[in-house]
A = this chain, B = another copy of it.
Amino acid sequence: MKIVSIDVHDVRFPTAAAGDGSDAINRGDYSAAYVTLTTDTGLSGSGFTFTNGRGNEIACAAIKALAHHVAGRSLDEIVEEPVAFWRSLTADVQLRWLGPEKGVIHMATGALVNAVWDLRAKAEGKPMWRLLAEMPAEEIVRNIDFRHIVDALTPEEALSLLKDDGGYASRLEVLERDGFPSYTTSVGWLGYPDDQVNALTRQAYDAGWRAMKMKVGGPIEDDVRRAGLIRSVIGDSASKDGSLLMMDANQVWDVPEAIENMKRLKEFDPYWIEEPTHADDVLGHAAIARAVAPIRVATGEVAANRVIFKQLLQADAIGVCQVDACRVGGVNEVLSIVLLAAKFGVPVCPHAGGVGLCEYVQHLSIFDYLRVGRSLEGRMVEYVDHLHEHFVDPVVTRNGRYLPPAAPGYSVTLRPESIADYSFPDGPVWQQD
């Protein structure tokens, strides 16, 4: 099977106007720099990288700049030499300068690499989580680029983390019976007024969610008031039907400011504080983690690559690893990050929301549970109830849990009519103004 053509679409959903997704630092139109690989067999693979609206065209340009490394390749050849393929994208002697392995060029790598994995899973007739979960340990390790992480994780250590413990079947049974735990971020965007927060929290609680995330990083008195409001609906985390409350500052604080503000907010028993400061600040996260313990520090949605995650783990800077499926260089790099987290004993709770991110990361968490982390303790996939209707195989949740996808592939194929309607700037949705 040979990849014969690559189509790139700039697809944007007008979410900014509604205040959906507004936080201390972002307010955008959820968008996908979306790529389709067509093969000579008629089978196709889809992938995308998520952006916040403006600049989605830059991500599309980056995908096009990398596409020549993918076009004309046979799937067999990629499967045979996966790191060589991955490095053809990440170590292009001219394009690498634009990152390296960060920002737009790396996000574009993620879109293309994920599209190849989607194709591979479809070719094998398996959902992505099953393709990975049933893969021999040696083959998983062969898909990882260990360059620049061997001081924290060697191929031998990775193999040993993946070694069969005989518990696979029973974990799969739990998963198929109960689904995978999630938490919801839909209740507390900064753009929502108090009564909307109140209503959405009540609604999520009634639908079964027992873990909710609120945005912080506005004026601290507002954060305190909203935290109290949400706690009054969901109860104490220690009580019988009480819930976890997570907080997310989206990098708006300085390091000392984060420590100060968490002193005010700790009365609401936050389970974690997410992105308390700049995403690149490994040492800053470590200082905050020491100061706010036992509250966990979480980050990852804009952590650029395995080298950043390696350091966050080495420095004891995070208690929760929030890898994103398409910020980093796709499945291959996610595998290294999931294994690094396991090596350091930190649970993975992937970043989701936006458009299509829930579809992506459910597969990663299920794989992690079945083969690497092997526990549901402290594991939750983020859930946001936006834009799922645009996907051919959308996520399905029941009682606040993700049900394992059954259709072959990575679940991120957009419906053709959604691509047409939301294409920017020419789609009909963008012509209405």
Considering only residues 237-294 of chain A, those with a C-beta below 8 Å from chain B are: 251, 254-256, 277-284, 287
Q: Which residues of B contact A54 (CB under 8 A)?
A: 65, 92, 94-95
Interface string of A101-143 (1 = CB under 8 A from B): 1111111000000000000000000000000000000000000
Are A103 and B94 closer than 8 Å at their CB atoms? no
Asked if A304 is at the interface of the complex by the 8 Å CB criterion, the answer is yes
> What's the least CB distance linking A291 to chain B, in Å?
11
Cβ-defined contact, B55 with A58, below 8 A: no
Residues B104 and A279 in contact, CB atoms below 8 Å apart: no
Asked if residues B55 and A97 are in contact (CB atoms below 8 Å), the reply is yes
A28 to B302, CA, bound (A): 28
Query: Assuming the A-B contacts A98-B59, A104-B58, are A256 and B151 also in contact, with contact meaning beta carbons closer than 8 angstroms in the complex?
Result: yes
CB distance from A91 to the nearest CB of B (A): 7
- Asked if A104 and B62 make an inter-chain contact with CB atoms under 8 angstroms apart, the answer reads yes
Contact between B307 and A28 (Cβ–Cβ < 8 Å)?
Answer: no
CB pair B103–A102 under 8 Å, yes or no, is yes
Q: How far is the CA of A59 from the CA of B97 in the complex (A)?
A: 11
Give the CA-CA distance A149 to B257 in the complex, in Å. Answer: 11
Interface of A is mostly: loop
- The count of identical subunits is 2
Which residues of B are found within 8 Å of A107, using beta-carbon distances? 98
Min CB distance A24 to B, Å, is 10
Docked pose: A55 CA to B99 CA in angstroms = 11
Which of A29, A282, A287 has the most chain B CB atoms inside 10 A of its CB?
A282
A428 at the interface (CB under 8 A from B): no
Q: How far is the CA of A149 from the CA of B253 in the complex (A)?
A: 11
B51→A98 contact, CB < 8 A: yes
Spot the interface stretch: A308-316, A332-340, A404-412: A308-316
Q: A58-B98, A148-B254 are in contact. Are A307 and B287 (CB under 8 A)?
A: no
Is A16 in the interface zone, CB < 8 Å from B? yes
Which of A61, A150, A151 has the most chain B CB atoms closer than 10 A to its own CB?
A151
Give the complex CA separation of A56 and B281 in angstroms: 28
Interface residues of A in 155-182 (CB under 8 A from B): none
| B251 and A100 contacting across the interface, CB-CB below 8 Å | yes
**Which single member of B29, B105, B151 contacts A58 (CB below 8 Å)?**
B105
Chain B residues lying within 8 Å of A29, measured Cβ to Cβ, are: 94
With a CB–CB cut-off of 8 A, which chain B residues contact A280?
A: 101-102, 280, 304-305, 307-308, 311
Candidates B55, B93, B100; contact of A65 at CB < 8 Å: B55
| Minimum CB–CB distance for A225 against chain B, Å | 23
Binary CB contact string for chain A from 170 to 210 against chain B (1 if under 8 A, 0 otherwise): 00000000000000000000000000000000000000000
Q: Is the CB of B254 within 8 A of A151?
A: yes
The answer to whether B302 touches A278 (Cβ under 8 A) is: no
Of all A-B residue pairs in the complex, the 6 with the closest CB atoms, nearest first, are: A103-B103, A54-B94, A52-B97, A28-B94, A151-B255, A148-B278
Q: What are some 28 contacts across the A-B interface (CB < 8 A)?
A: A16-B94, A27-B93, A27-B94, A28-B94, A52-B93, A52-B95, A53-B94, A54-B94, A54-B95, A55-B97, A55-B105, A57-B61, A58-B61, A58-B62, A62-B104, A100-B278, A100-B302, A101-B278, A103-B105, A103-B304, A104-B105, A148-B278, A148-B281, A149-B254, A150-B254, A151-B254, A280-B308, A281-B311
